[in-house]
């Protein structure tokens, strides 16, 4: 490995009705807002409602990890390697979800399909 820390700054945060852990499908079914730092609004040029975008975010409430985990903590299922799961308990707690872009309102994106909790720091947005 040999590298030192890699530092990122959040470009914004998630706003939705989910402050506590919930099933990913439940969170994804609702609409979320990605509120970007207003100084980054020009970076949204070229994005259009109706397209799919990738949201990269930091699992800020995740602590520690195991290399083999029961999927969704369900002990009736066999353990799998963390890299075969979407678990937030990872060596680098980074989440990635492809979402539908519903609308752009200034420096705020309305999206559907995001499985991040309210207040989650957003690291980047890319076309899917």
For the chain, how many structural domains are there in total? 1
Q: CATH number of the domain that 27 lies in? A: 2.40.30.70
Per-residue pLDDT of the chain (128 residues; tens, 9 = 90+): 567 888 999 999 999 987 776 666 666 668 999 999 999 999 999 999 999 999 999 999 988 888 999 988 889 999 999 999 888 889 999 999 999 999 999 999 999 999 999 999 999 999 99
Q: Is residue 82 part of a domain?
A: no
Torsion of CA 82, 83, 85, 87, to 10 degrees: 60
* Residue 58 lies in domain: 12-62+90-127
In a domain, 79, yes or no: no
Structural domain contains residue 30: yes
| Dist CA 52 CA 128 (whole Å) | 6
Phi and psi at residue 78, to the nearest 5°: -65, 150
In a domain, 114, yes or no: yes
Tokens representing 70? 């029961």
Q: What is the DSSP string of 16-41?
A: SS--S---HHHHHHSEEEEEE-GGGG
Provide the token pair at 105. Answer: 């309102």
């Amino acid at each position: 490995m040999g590298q030192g820390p890699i530092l990122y700054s959040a470009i914004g945060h998630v706003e939705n009705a989910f402050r506590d852990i919930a099933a990913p499908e439940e969170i994804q079914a609702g609409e979320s807002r990605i509120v970007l730092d207003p100084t980054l609004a020009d970076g949204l040029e070229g994005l259009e409602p109706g397209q799919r975008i990738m949201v990269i975010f930091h699992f800020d409430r995740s602590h520690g990890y195991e290399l083999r985990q029961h999927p969704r903590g369900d002990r009736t299922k066999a353990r799998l390697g963390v890299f075969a799961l979407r678990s937030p308990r990872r060596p680098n707690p980074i989440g990635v979800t492809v979402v539908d872009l519903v609308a752009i309102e200034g420096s705020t994106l309305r999206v559907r399909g995001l499985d991040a909790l309210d207040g989650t720091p957003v690291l980047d947005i890319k076309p899917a």
